[in-house]
């Protein structure tokens, strides 16, 4: 609608100043049309530069996520890789569903859509919960009223991304949060863990019994053991 007003006031300004003979009428029609044209253009520029007439709408979603490691293991595994240096933003590797054959990387910056990519971020928090999850807060623009939508609804502005902030909540006691180097080290030392279990059959039997009677405690002990092995 604003473009229609701009076109209309442009024509009226031209007609008013060029084709009306009476000076008073010419000044009134031409001057008023020109003033309204300036206001309309200024309003459009202000809208485009500040999203005037729009509001920010935030939607929060929550999704449970699953281990990036062995799905039969008692403990969970989350792998992270920081983007840049001391940015506080990460790429995380995990499964979206327990039935997924392989874990996948999430929150990798999309280089093909860099404008939206810089508006997205992901970080993590350690939690006392038993389940890992991702909470995402997505903020987009929406028109503040039907009038503003009618005036400025000339493009695909509604739904434009303002920011997308994701927080991965990792259980402190029953999950491991490892970077890619630590994950590779754990994989290389898996044989050492098996050897330790074989070397101490009595302790292994107790752990197997604990896995049946108290799976959560068993997972905690495994996490503690691996952290000691990796010196973390």
Is residue 81 very low, low, confident or very high in pLDDT (cuts 50, 70, 90)? very high
| Per-position b or e across 3-38, b if 16+ CB within 10 A of its CB | eebbeebeebbeebeeeeeeeeebeebbeebbebbe
Q: Which of 56, 63, 86 is nearest to 163 (CA)?
A: 56
Is residue 197 very low, low, confident or very high in pLDDT (cuts 50, 70, 90)? low
Is residue 199 very low, low, confident or very high in pLDDT (cuts 50, 70, 90)? low
Least confident of 35-44, 45-54, 77-86, 157-166: 77-86
CA–CA distances in Å: residue 65 to residues 56, 131, 188: 28, 8, 25
Domain boundaries, the chain: 2-50, 56-175, 180-230
pLDDT at 67 over 90: yes
pTM: 0.81
State pLDDT tens for residues 125-134: 999 998 999 9
Report the alpha-carbon distance of residue 109 to residue 92 in Å, rounded.
Answer: 12
Instruction: Supply the DSSP string of 3-61, one letter for each residue.
Output: HHHHHHHHHHHHHHHHH--SHHHHHHHHHHHHHHHHHHHHHHHHHHHH-TTEEEEEEEE
Are 47 and 5 contacting, i.e. CB atoms less than 8 angstroms apart? Answer: no
Mean pLDDT estimate for the chain: 89
pLDDT at 19 over 90: no
What are the φ/ψ torsions at residue 202 (nearest 5 degrees)? Answer: -65, -45
Pull the structure tokens for residue 94: 């995990």
CA atoms within a 13 Å half-sphere pointing along the CA-CB vector of 61: 9
């Amino acid at each position: 609608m604003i473009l229609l007003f701009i076109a209309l006031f442009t024509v009226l300004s031209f007609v008013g100043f060029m084709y009306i003979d009476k000076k008073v009428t010419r000044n009134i029609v031409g001057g008023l049309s020109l003033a309204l044209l300036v206001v309309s253009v200024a309003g459009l520029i202000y809208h485009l530069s500040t999203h005037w007439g729009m509001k920010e709408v935030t939607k929060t979603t929550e999704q449970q996520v699953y281990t990036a490691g062995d799905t039969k293991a008692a403990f969970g595994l989350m792998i992270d890789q920081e983007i840049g240096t001391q940015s506080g933003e990460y790429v995380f590797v995990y499964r979206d569903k327990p039935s997924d054959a392989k874990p996948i990387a999430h929150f990798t910056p999309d280089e093909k859509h860099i404008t939206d990519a810089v508006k997205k971020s992901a970080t993590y928090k350690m939690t006392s919960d038993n389940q890992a999850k991702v909470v995402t807060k997505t903020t987009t623009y929406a028109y503040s009223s039907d009038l503003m939508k009618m005036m400025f609804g000339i493009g695909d502005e509604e739904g434009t991304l303002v920011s997308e902030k994701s927080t991965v909540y990792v259980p402190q006691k029953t999950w491991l949060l490892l970077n890619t180097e630590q994950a590779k080290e754990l994989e290389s030392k898996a044989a050492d863990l098996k050897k330790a279990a074989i070397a101490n059959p009595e302790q292994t039997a107790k752990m197997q019994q604990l896995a049946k009677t108290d799976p959560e405690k068993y997972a905690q002990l495994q996490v503690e053991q691996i952290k000691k092995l990796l010196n973390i």
